[in-house]
Amino acid sequence: MKVAVVQFPGSNCDRDTVHVLKNSLKLDAKLIWHNEFNEAYDAVVLPGGFSFGDHLRAGIIAAHSPATKAVRKMAAEGKPVLGICNGFQILIEAGLLPGALLRNTTLKFVCKWTNLQVEANNTAFTCAIEKGSKVRMPIAHNEGRYFADDEQLDRLETAGRIVMKYVDENPTGTSRGIAAISNEDGNVVGMMPHPERASDPALGGVDGMKIFESMLEWTKC
């Protein structure tokens, strides 16, 4: 399976993500400069970082770039699309996922390991994880406070589109502890935690690997 990791100007988790996909999962993963990206891949990851310096608003410039048009096509074709951190912000700004990512309630950048519960496993990035299981991954962001109105949140809950919630502590003050959501078909997932940073026991855990393994599983069925 061919996976593209899109590199926008200002992306900074791009190489980390490619490293895990390529060297830990042995996938055919490539770093693709945003101008050279097209929909001819089996899956795409929008990595973390500060695309276009987060100018105007986090993720918004990348969301209106030609690369995101190709992402949109892949999403419509049902291919796995993962947005991590800044990638999640881009998917939200592009309207591929609902809601908004606001400034953390602490009004500060927060970098720490978090405890999460997998709330849905009918998605391309959690299908290999048991529903209700606890996983640990780090977060690192300033604008990751997921927000939507109650009506929207109820709809997401009912449709099983809340993919992961923070447990024990809600470090950024998100609505209902949300850390990751999906689109209706489950092939597009946005998450604030960094799975690529939790893919090596020496770095503190390997739960992130399950996110990428799910992607492989999903494309097999």
Partner 1 sequence: MLVGDIETTLTPEEVAYARKQLGREPNALEWSMIDAEWSEHCSYKSSKPIIAQLPTTSPRVLLGPGYDSGVIDIGDGYILTLHIESHNHPSAIEPYGGAATGIGGVVRDILCMGTTPIALMDALKFGDITKSDHSKWIMKNVVRGIADYGNCIGVPTVAGEIEFDECFERNCLVDVACLGLGRKDRLLLAEATCPGDSIFLIGGSTGRDGIHGVTFASRTLAADTEQERSAVQIPDPFTKKLIIEATLEAAETGIVRGCKDLGGGGLTTGLSEIADKGATGVEIYLEEIPIREPDMSPIEIMISESQERMLLVIKQGQEGVLQDIMQKYGVAWARIGQVNSTGMITVTRFAKPLAYLPTSFVANAPIIQRETRSPQTPKNDFESPMPRDLEKVVLDLLGSPTIASKEWVFSQYDHEVGIRTVAKPGQADAAVLSLPNGKLAAIKVDGNALLGYLDPYLGGASVLAECCRNVVAVGAEPVAMLDHCQFGDPNDPEIFWAFSMAVKGMAEFAKALSLPCVGGKVSFYNQDGVTGKAIKSSPVVAVLGLVERPEHVTKMAFRDEETVIVVGTTKRELGGSEYYHSMGVSGLSPPALDFELEKRTQVGVLDCIRGGYVTACHDCAKGGLVVALAEMAIASAKGASLDLRSVAADAMRDDELLFSESNSRFILTTDKPDRLLKKLAEHGIPAAIAGTVEGSELSLTLREHRLRWDLASTRDAYLNSLQRILEPWQK
Output 54 or 119, the one with its CB closest to partner 1: 54
Minimum distance of partner 1 from residue 69's CB (angstroms): 20
How crowded is residue 136: how many other Cβ atoms within 10 Å of its Cβ? 15
How crowded is residue 95: how many other Cβ atoms within 10 Å of its Cβ? 10
**Residue 120 near residue 75 (C-beta atoms within 8 A):** no
Q: What are the residue ranges of helices labelled H in 64-206?
A: 66-76, 86-93, 150-158
Per DSSP, what are the bridge partners of residue 84?
191
H helices then E strands: how many in the chain?
Answer: 6, 11
Minimum distance of partner 1 from residue 64's CB (angstroms): 16
Nearest to 162 by CA among 172, 171, 174: 174
Output 68 or 121, the one with its CB closest to partner 1: 68
Max Cα separation, the chain?
Answer: 43
Output 103 or 219, the one with its CB closest to partner 1: 103
Minimum distance of partner 1 from residue 41's CB (angstroms): 21
For binding to partner 1 (CB under 8 A), which residues are involved?
9-10, 12-13, 16, 19-20, 33, 48-50, 52-55, 106, 108-112, 138, 140, 142, 194, 196-197, 199-200, 202-204
Minimum distance of partner 1 from residue 141's CB (angstroms): 9
Residue 8 dihedral angles phi and psi, to the nearest 5° = -90, 160
Output 21 or 148, the one with its CB closest to partner 1: 21
- The 8-class DSSP code of residue 33 comes to E
Minimum distance of partner 1 from residue 158's CB (angstroms): 33
Q: What are the residue ranges of helices labelled H in 20-104?
A: 60-63, 66-76, 86-93
The residue count for the chain: 221
Output 98 or 173, the one with its CB closest to partner 1: 173
**Residue 49 near residue 23 (C-beta atoms within 8 A):** no
Active site residues: 85, 194, 196
- Rounded to an integer, what distance in angstroms lies between the CA atom of residue 140 and that of residue 195? 12
